[in-house]
Amino acid sequence: MAEETKVKAVKEAKLANPLEASIDIATQQMIKRAQQLKIETVFDRAVDMKPCNIGMQGICCKNCAMGPCRLPLPKGGIEGEDTRKGLCGATPNTIAARNFARMVAAGAAAHSDHGRGVAETFLSVARKEAHDYQIKDYQKLVAIAPHLGVATTVEVDGKTQDRNLDEIALEVAEKAMAEWGKTEGELSYLKRAPKPLYEKWKKNGVLPRNIDREIVDIMHRTHMGVDQDYKNLTKQSTRASLADGWGGSMLATDLQDVMFGTPSPVLSEANLGVMKADHVNVIVHGHEPLLSEMIVAACQSKEMLDYAITKGAKGIVLSGICCTANEILQRHGVPQAGTFLQQELAIITGACDAMVVDVQCIFQNLANVAKCFHTKLITTHPMGKMEQDNVIHIEFDEHYAMDDAKKIVKMAVDNFQNRGTEVMIPPYKKPQVAGFSVESIEYHLGGSFRGSYYTLNDNIINGRIRGIAGVVGCNNARTKHNEQHITIVKELIKNDVLVLTTGCSAIACAMEGLLEPESAAVFCGPGLAEVCEVVGIPPVLHLGSCVDNSRILLAATEVVKAGGLGKDICDLPVAGSAPEWMSEKAISIGQYFVASGVYTVFGYSLPVEGAPVFKNHLYKDHEKLYGGMWDCEEDPIKHAQKMIAHIDKKRKELGIDKARERVLMDMADRQAIDL
Ligand code: NFS
């Protein structure tokens, strides 16, 4: 293309309307700022390029070179027999189920490979080869050991004694590593699920054998000419997703807790306004906390702080984007600069001296944006490099973790003096209380004497808390940034539904002030407001990153164990939601929530619309198989109301719907309820 035409094409590209792109004022201001500086962002690209309608419906097959075969639904729907087929004869159901399975495989691989990295580092720690890390939470180590078949006591002279902790750590590390590739048996953590759920998985033939195998299995069976039965394909999607939720993700969470500490409530802040113009700003973005844990320590070290002062800065502000942000927020109270869709905007402030990225959810366009400023963009993972020449690669090695972290922070400090005059940090941020975990919920909601889930269950039974919702997942530039998350969460808490949140949804809630305990009085129904005020918690509990969705599975299991609300997760008045999902990881999460018995509603659109029979399998048949099922609803109020309707259906089945009508019960009321 001639240079002139090229420039014209760029000029004619449509620009996003900031007010339509986001509900967040800091984001709106920065989109405007980017447009003034003629820097293109994802928001502009989203108005300039529309998604492919056939791909969106899930019915484009590009698994062989006879295609891509595209099987759009005829206008007005199918009348009579559905005769659509690809060159090989693949039906829309086969194609959509194959595409769905590949999304599950990619999502499970991303979470589980993250988990593998953590397990490898943990093994180095247990072998005393990675000196910058230690075991911080021995209590958790001892708690998870039996689930991996590791004994925590030994018999000496006929007496039972506690086993040496170093020995336990080493065996836990080895057993954990084996989960990715063991040749026999099934994943060890599956038995942590309620027994009826485990039995359902067994009956349906979906107990994962090992983590890697279930992912490879999907890649094989979705190759041209293998599995051509949407039900059989989806069965394998379930198996691989369970290997993620109850395998790779759960191991990642557990081992991170053991090494870096199990989260407990912390006070922090969220949104771009956490950056400071007179400080060195380091932003970590991505997913794996191995390096970012070290960067936290390096940024807080006297050596680096003194160094920053010699360079004319008042200090160092570390903040995070995406799930890395959630990891270091939960354990250290490090503030969050923003969600997935704000990554380019953080650089456009002109005050980001270094952005350090590892894997997942990182825009390649960050490199183009960084070129317009002084920002050093540093990739750190052997798997995550960028082709642009302004990107610096510093490969992280867990054996020299602190050295690597200091090198990176020093680079940011040295870069402080290179800032241009174009600094604009939007002055918006909100305080938040984050840092919840299965353990800290038990402590907070269980009361100081009991430390259990009984009090939570009591409050659900007596109707003060109508139910529990997990609201999780991404931003998607095809929806208004944060609008769905916030509208849905507000509607849920208004109706006395306690919300557990992770991922970018949690950051969105924090930016809106919903993670402040004070928000209970403003936004909650009377029952939930009362519980939150008495206990001193926000109505939206931040449980961490997306791999920490495993915490939601275990919290639900604890609720089952505490009694009075049925025998399985599918009996509970709970529902799940990913309002603005975009990543393949979200599909894997959705599938393991559904297969664990949770009614799960996605926003935006699911790639199943072009294959109605397959869609019906996910939305209806799954309820019979696992007790949970998929749904999709774009309208946020209807979305929340569908979740509430499901919660009410479960309350009715449990016979506690009457309690809700009265909400506050006396002793006689309680005795009248036959559970
Ligand atoms: Ni989850 Fe976390 Fe955010 Fe979505 Fe990406 S950061 S792992 S995938 S975008 S929630």
Q: 416 near 313, Cβ under 8 Å?
A: yes
Burial (CB count <10 Å: 0-12, 13-18, 19+), residue 373: buried
As given in the structure block, the two tokens for residue 514 are 């919903």
Burial label, 24 (beta-carbon count in 10 A; 0-12, 13-18, 19+): buried
Assess whether the C-beta atom of 566 lies below 6 angstroms from ligand 1.
no
Whether the CB of 463 sits within 6 Å of ligand 1:
no
Check: CB of residue 448 under 8 Å from CB of residue 554.
Answer: no
What does the DSSP 8-state code read for residue 454? H
Element (H, E) at 28: helix 25-36
pLDDT of amino acid 157: 92
pLDDT for res 519: 97
Ligand 1 pocket test: pick from 256, 343, 474, 577 the residue with the most ligand atoms within 8 Å of its Cβ.
474
What is the spatial distance between Cα 596 and Cα 611, in angstroms, rounded to a whole number? 24
In this structure, which residue's CA is closest to atom 5 in ligand 1?
Answer: 361
Q: Which of 111, 323, 329, 507 to mutate to test the pocket of ligand 1 (most atoms within 8 A of CB)?
A: 323
User: Which two three-digit tokens encode residue 573?
Assistant: 């008045």
pLDDT of the residue at 2: 47
Report the candidate in 225, 235, 210, 224 with the shortest Cα–Cα distance to residue 100: 235
Distance 260 CA to ligand 1 centre (A): 21
Q: Is the CB of 503 under 6 A from ligand 1?
A: yes
Q: Which value, to the nearest 10 degrees, does the dihedral of the CA atoms of residues 104, 110, 111, 113 take? A: 130
Q: What is the pLDDT of residues 406-445, one digit of tens each?
A: 999 999 999 999 998 889 999 999 999 999 999 998 888 7
Q: Are 241 and 591 in contact (CB under 8 A)?
A: yes
Neighbours of 5 (CB within 10 A): 9
Helix (H) or strand (E) holding 156: strand 153-156
User: Mean pLDDT for each 10-residue chunk of the chain (675 residues)?
Assistant: 48 88 98 97 97 96 97 87 96 98 98 97 95 95 98 94 97 98 98 98 98 98 98 98 98 98 97 98 96 96 98 98 97 98 98 98 98 97 97 93 96 96 95 96 69 87 97 98 98 98 98 97 97 94 98 97 96 98 98 98 97 98 98 98 98 91 58 50
Say if residues 376 and 412 touch (Cβ distance below 8 Å).
yes
* E strand residue ranges, 550-644: 574-578, 599-602, 630-632
**For the chain, percent of residues with pLDDT exceeding 90:** 90
Distance 286 CA to ligand 1 centre (A): 9
pLDDT value, residue 75: 83
Cβ 247 vs Cβ 240: under 8 Å: no
With a 6 Å cutoff on the Cβ, whether 194 touches ligand 1 is no
Give phi and psi for 502, each to the nearest 5.
-145, 180
Any ligand 1 atom below 6 A from CB of 294: no
504 Cβ closer than 6 Å to some ligand 1 atom: yes
CA–CA distance, 314 with 332 (Å, rounded to integer): 21
DSSP 205: T
Cα(78)–Cα(174) distance, integer angstroms:
54
Stated as kind and residue range, the H or E segment containing 101 is helix 92-126
**Burial group, residue 79, by CB count within 10 angstroms (0-12, 13-18, 19+):** exposed
Measured in Å, residue 199 CA sits from the centre of ligand 1 at 31
Measured from the CB, is residue 106 less than 6 Å from ligand 1? Answer: no
Measured in whole angstroms, the distance separating CA 445 from the mean position of its chain's CA atoms is 23
Catalogue all structural domains in the chain, each as residue range(s) with its CATH number.
92-260 (1.20.1270.30), 272-418 (3.40.50.2030), 440-654 (3.40.50.2030)
Instruction: Please report the atom of ligand 1 found closest to the CA of residue 111.
Output: 7
Please check whether residue 542 is in contact with residue 512, taking contact to mean a CB–CB distance below 8 angstroms: no
453 CA to centre of ligand 1 in angstroms:
29
Q: Is 477 in the pocket of ligand 1 (CB under 6 A)?
A: no
Determine contact, residues 541/441, Cβ cutoff 8 Å: yes
pLDDT of the residue at 524: 97
Instruction: Give the closest residue (by CA) to ligand 1 atom 2.
Output: 323
Contact present, 180 and 188 (Cβ < 8 Å)? no
> H or E stretch including 99?
helix 92-126
pLDDT for res 454: 87
Cα–Cα distance measured from residue 337 to residue 315, given in angstroms and rounded to the nearest whole number? 17
Lookup: tokens for 619: 């939305």
Nearest alpha carbon to residue 390 among 371, 410, 372, 369: 371
What per-residue confidence (pLDDT) applies to 398?
Answer: 86
DSSP state at residue 375: P
Residue 14, C-beta contacts closer than 8 angstroms, at least 6 positions apart: 44, 47, 48
Based on its alpha-carbon atoms, the radius of gyration of the chain, rounded to whole angstroms, reads 25
For residue 5, the model assigns a pLDDT of 47
Integer angstrom CA distances of residue 654 from 183, 246, 394, 624, 650: 41, 26, 55, 18, 6
Cα separation, 75 vs 435, whole angstroms: 49
The mean pLDDT of the chain is 94
The pLDDT tens digits of the residues spanning 235-246 come to: 999 999 999 999
| Residue 392 Cα to chain centre, angstroms | 27
Looking at ligand 1, which residue's alpha carbon is closest to its atom 6?
A: 322
Helix spans in 462-518 (H)? 483-494, 503-511
| Whole-number pLDDT of residue 7 | 47
Q: Which two tokens stand for residue 615?
A: 């869609």
Distance CA 554, CA 565 (A): 15
Tell me how far apart the alpha carbons of residues 596 and 627 are, in angstroms, rounded to a whole number: 8
Distance CA 655, CA 604 (A): 34
Q: E strand or H helix at 328, and its extent?
A: helix 322-332
pLDDT in tens, 165-197: 999 999 999 999 999 999 999 999 999 999 999
Q: Determine which helix (DSSP H) or strand (DSSP E) holds 268, and give its type and residue range.
A: strand 266-270
